Structure 1
Amino acid sequence: MKKWISPTLLIAFFILSAVGHFAGWDATLQFILSAISVIFVAGFLGKATENVSHYAGQRLGGFLNATFGNAAELIIAIFLVKEGLFDMVKASLTGSVIGNLLLVLGLSIFAGGLKFKVQSFNVSLAGMNGSLMLVAVIALIVPAVFLRSHSITGSDTQLLSLIVACILIVAYLAWLVFSMITHKKYLADVTDEEDEELPHEREPEWSKGKSILYLLLATVMVAFVSEWLVDTLETFTTRFGLSELFVGAFLVAIIGNAAEHSAAVMLAMKNKIGAAVEIAVGSSLQIALFVAPVLVLVSYFFGPTTMDLVFTTIELLAIGVSVFIAKSIIQDGKTNWYEGLLLLVVYVILGVSFFLV
């Protein structure tokens, strides 16, 4: 990742995005500049997080990478919620989940598998992640089924969504306590001891203070470019005849996942597949169990309409398929390049299907 980031290009595209936004340039040009800027800023964010993770440890580092990697998506989604574009928000959340489980995880396993025949990570962690993914799917299916079966009204659905959102946030916070405190050693990565024997591979580029400062700076930059990107989405979508579902689920998700893409793949190629899985799967769990519920609460306070957790049948199918294939591949705690290829195949199938909607 150190060679991937270019400070000159990062600053140049950030300035161009700002000028394009405030000068009122063509919406398509603004979208392209903002998208490229988000990718560079997300990469900068990922690099800062990787340096911070050196001081925080592997598991906490993976969590921080997933958290700050999701900062772009969360900020983009908040601006979309503010504009009342709930359908695009749900599409972007769907894209984030399937993008992390299929694209990020698939690329990581594939790239790591090409260099190492078989890679291993903690089986207990794989099992817990699989169970949490199933909980996320259940939480999304229940409101949709109850509404569409006419068992509850639309207003009741919003109330149910708020209650489910609060429950999921509590469950996610409890998972952090379980995984980071009470059962930290139980879920430790199998390569931790090897990492301790090779300290030269983990030398940070920045000091602790500078890493934290750059992490905060990158987060602020993400907030700005995300707002500029959102301002162009509606015009861009209409001009090219694209559905909100495809734009939200694939374009916005891929752009917002740039930090996870680079960090997870680089870690997998260093035979740190456990950390790569922690970033990809952990990011998906964070989106489903924390970010989506937070957005429901944010929409409630923004008013007048509260976003519910009723996703379309297509979105639920995509999430369900992604969770099923990802769980089946990681449950044994071992991966190879062909399993990564299978995840990418499913991602392409879903991508083509969403494009044709």
Structure 2
Amino acid sequence: MLNYILLVFVPIALLLELMHAPGVWIFVASALALLPLASLMGRATEELAARTGSTVGGLLNATFGNAAELIIAGVALAAGKLEVVKASITGSILSNLLLVLGLSILLGGLRFNTQRFNANSANIMATLLALSMVAFLLPAFFDLAERTYFRVDPTLPDLDFSHAAAIVLVLVYLANIWFSLRTHRDLVSGRDEAHPEDHPATWSVPVSIGVLASATAGVAVMAEFLVGSLEAATSVLGLSEFFVGIILIPLVGNAAEHFAAIGFAIKNKMDLAVQIAIGSALQIALLVAPLLILLGWIIGQPMNLVFQNPLELAALAASIIATNAVVRDGETNWLEGFLLLGVYVLLGFAFFFTPR
């Protein structure tokens, strides 16, 4: 119900943009409008997945799971906000692994003493995340070596290396999809997935496609407004664009999945909660990030995988290490969730106090 109420901010944002209202108003209205639109994209994708069978449905969920974040980041990329794009990549991974997984484990653990899930599936995803960290670390060290050891301008080599890394990451993602949906489906499926009839489709295929197309168009328009008003809004609010990119944009773009994961955890369906949280972070690392690199290549924006702020790399490493420690045994309690949230809050303060 709240999603439908928030849809009122779509025309409000349009009206404010047409009236050339102060940027902070447009920013807030478009951010609130993105919440229900992203939720509708997710709902339409789930409805189509329920209508098209397990394999095709799995591909749909894998493809469109983070479409809203991709659109928002793509609009920022086209506007030349490269550091905001990189920050949103980092922030999306952090929010899924620390905030969403932490809240899911905490709230589920307060209701159920110990919650169990498929450790095989969680460990495979966590291992892939750890390996993806290599793709984020190597470009930074590559850039450092060029500057300090070879003493050359790293701009073009950084781009070339990032393009190659992006292609490799997409191939790894496709291999993981094939592994999960075809060759080792039984290994990675959880107990909660055994009853698809619990989630029957209620929308027809034409309705689902129409809603998906409309919501996607709405997300694109609201993302334009959000990015266009970003500079004015950050000036008024006293926030850095880095903080907005790493904290606020990920929360707006993925709020629907966040609430879904927490809801499943409260119902003791931890397999689904863990798969949503870690799976979404994995999709950001292996699909969304490389697609943004390749998109920048196509449209002429020098987007690379070099994170100049070492705090981002430290945050990614900390979140992946913490997640691996929590999920390795296939069971959780509320304290583990509280610890993940503590790490997220500490990182949030670090990002907030980062000089503008």
TM-score using structure 1 length: 0.90
Q: Which residue of 1 aligns with 2:270?
A: 273
Query: Unpaired segments of 5 or more residues in structure 1?
Result: none
Tell me, yes or no, if structure 1 residue 290 matches structure 2 residue 287: yes
> Is 1:84–2:85 an aligned residue pair?
no
Task: Note the C-alpha offset of 1:145.
Answer: 1.0
Alignment correspondent of 1:253: 250
1:71–1:222 CA contact under 8 A, matched in 2 = no
Q: Distance in 1 between matches of 2:260 and 2:51?
A: 16
1:119 aligns with 2:115: yes
Partner AA of 2:241 in structure 1: E
Which secondary structure state, in structure 1, belongs to the residue aligned with residue 185 of structure 2?
coil
Aligned residues: 348
Q: Is the 8 A contact 2:103 2:337 kept in 1?
A: yes
Matched, 1:12 2:13: no
- Residue 161 of structure 1 corresponds to which residue in structure 2? 162
State the alpha-carbon separation in 2 of the partners of residues 307 and 15 from structure 1: 33
Q: Shift of residue 52 of structure 1? A: 4.0
Greater Cα shift, 98-107 or 202-211 = 202-211
Residue 317 of structure 2 corresponds to residue 316 of structure 1: no
2:220 alignment partner, SS class:
helix
How far apart are the structure 1 equivalents of 2:157 and 2:316?
24
1:228 aligns with 2:225: yes
1:132-157 Cα deviation digits (max 9, x unpaired)? 01111111001101211335633211
Supply the distance in 2 between the matched residues of 1:17 and 1:83 (Cα, whole angstroms). 19
Where 1:101 maps in the other structure, the secondary structure is helix
Alignment of 1:16-165 (within 5 A): 16-55=12-51, 64=60, 67-149=63-145, 150-151=148-149, 153-165=154-166
**C-alpha displacement of 1:208:** 4.7
Q: What's the counterpart of residue 344 of structure 1?
A: 341
CA gap 1:4/1:109 in 2 versus in 1, 3 angstroms: farther
Q: CA–CA distance in 2 between the matches of 1:116 and 1:60?
A: 34
Question: What is the distance in 2 between the residues matched to 1:105 and 1:60?
Answer: 27
Letter in 1 for 2:23: A
Closer/same/farther in 2, CA of residues 336 and 46 from structure 1, 3 Å limit: farther
Within 2, Cα distance between the matches of 1:130 and 1:345? 20
Q: Which moved more, 1:72-81 or 1:201-210?
A: 201-210
What amino acid sits opposite 1:68 in the alignment?
F
Aligned to 2:213: 216
**Cα distance in structure 2, aligned partners of 1:272 and 1:209:** 30
Say if 1:126 and 1:332, in contact at 8 Å, map to a contact too. no
Going from structure 1 to structure 2, the CA distance change for 1:264 and 1:87 (only over 3 Å counts) comes to same
What is the CA-CA distance between 1:306 and the residue it aligns to?
A: 1.9
Deviates more, 1:39-48 or 1:85-94: 39-48
What is the match of residue 179 of structure 1?
180
Task: For structure 2, list consecutive stretches of 5 or more residues without a partner in the other structure.
Answer: none
Contact 1:37 1:225 in 2 (8 A): yes
SS at match of 2:340: helix
Q: Is the 8 A contact 1:122 1:189 kept in 2?
A: yes
Q: Which range moved further: 260-269 or 133-142?
A: 260-269
Q: CA deviation at 1:4?
A: 4.0
Q: CA deviation at 1:82?
A: 0.9
Q: 1:336 to 1:100 in 2, by over 3 A?
A: same
Identity, in percent, stands at: 42
Moved over 6 A (4+): 57-63
Structure 1 residue 53, shift from structure 2 partner: 4.7
| Local SS of the residue matching 1:191 | helix
What is the SS of the residue equivalent to 1:147? helix
